[in-house]
Amino acid sequence: MDMKPVNSSAIEAVGSDPSTRRMRIRFAGGNEYDFCGVPKTVHEALMSASSKGTFYNDYIRDRYQCH
């Protein structure tokens, strides 16, 4: 998955695979987590959010677990 660096103190990079609706987030410190079933609109909103960490906490965290 192609990871794109983002301007954020909490998140280093974000990747997305629209065909599987899987998104990967690399956090500051290097930990990476996958999120499943993420709508394209949520990924786009994260990428354009002024605060990626706040957007993650409000709209992604604990919502798109991969099973």
- Which amino acid, residue 14? V
Token pair recorded at residue 18: 């629209």
Q: How confident is the model over 10-67, as pLDDT tens digits? A: 999 999 999 999 999 999 999 999 999 999 999 999 999 999 999 999 999 999 999 8
Please check whether residue 26 is in contact with residue 13, taking contact to mean a CB–CB distance below 8 angstroms. yes
Cα–Cα distance, 25 to 16 (Å, whole number): 9
| Residue 65 CA, distance from chain mean position | 12
Q: Where are the domains of the chain?
A: 3-60
| pLDDT confidence of residue 67 | 80
